[in-house]
Amino acid sequence: MVKKFQKHGNSSALIIEKPVMQVLGITEETPLQVAVNGNALVITPANIGVGPERMKATIKSLRKKYGPMLKRLAD
């Protein structure tokens, strides 16, 4: 995909289309890390870890599967 910068005030902006954002799992609110690697501009989501929604879903799944066993261990 070839992109061009667009004028945005005194700066330039790179427009990222919604399908690309969906594939990357980012939104307009996602903080991005911008780095230069040689002559390449590298843009990655800054929140590399697991998001809060995924964490809650994982904990819920673990409690469902292992909850009774963990309770017995705690007792």
Residues 15-32 have pLDDT tens digits of 999 999 998 888 998 889
Look up residue 23 and give its amino acid.
Answer: V
Domain boundary assignment for the chain:
6-74
**Four-way CATH pick for 6-74: 2.10.260.10, 1.10.3720.10, 1.10.3470.10, 2.30.40.10:** 2.10.260.10
- How far apart, in whole angstroms, are the C-alpha atoms of residue 51 and residue 63? 18
Structure confidence at residue 36 (pLDDT): 96
Beta bridge partners of 12: 7
| Rounded Cα distance, 69 and 55, in Å | 21
Q: Is the pTM of this model over 0.75?
A: no
Encode pLDDT of 35-71 as tens digits. Answer: 999 999 999 888 666 777 888 888 899 999 999 998 8
